[in-house]
Amino acid sequence: MGSFVPYLYYAFYCVLWAKLFYLALIGALGCGAIIVSMSSEFAKAQYRPLRAALFIALGLSGVIPCVHAVIINGFWVSVHHGSLGWLVLMAVLYISGASIYAARVPERCCPGKFDIWFQSHQIFHVFVVAAALVHYHGIGVLTNYRLTVGDCQPPVGHPFPAHEFANLDLLRPFIK
């Protein structure tokens, strides 16, 4: 949930309404996931696949804002400067880790052999750390692009719709 905030901030740097909408949406979904995951009822082993699916769904909820960012910024800007490729790699790592956790691989194949080392839960956390490092790098690329381009000016040769910049007038009284 929190790892998506910097992406939303920089991907929708010039589109205030979209930034606020997606932040609220991801926040609400994340809070729902926290409530369900903290419930003692859902802590039972029979709900293990449901918990994994819940976190996969939370991660996939970022697809809509990413598609919107591609529409606004263009495909090549999104891939080369907007960290889209890094976000896809991060999602693959998260989904792979959650899938291994839900399938209980490798302890399912060899019961008792992976009780201390290399449990699916440990493998899941290795994937999570790898995804966090990929995400950190990708957000650095996106931040660098936004700081290089400057204030909400469209890149040379890229036709941004004028209405995407109209929401900045709402902030003028607060900007000195």
Which residues are annotated binding-site positions for Zn(2+)? 121, 125
Q: Report how far apart, in Å, the C-alpha atoms of 18 and of each of 26, 65, 77, 121 are.
A: 12, 8, 18, 36
Q: Where are the beta strands (DSSP E) in the chain?
A: none
How many angstroms separate the CA atoms of 41 and 30, rounded?
19
Q: Which of 158, 94, 159 is nearest to 126 (CA)?
A: 94
C-alpha–C-alpha distance, residues 86 and 79, integer Å: 8
Give the distance from CA 37 to its chain's centroid.
19
Which one-letter amino acid corresponds to residue 59?
G
Q: What is the CA radius of gyration of the chain?
A: 19
- For the record, the structure tokens of 148 come out as 């290089």
Binding residues: 121, 125
Q: Are the beta carbons of 100 and 124 closer than 8 angstroms?
A: yes
Residue in the block written with tokens 């082993």: 45
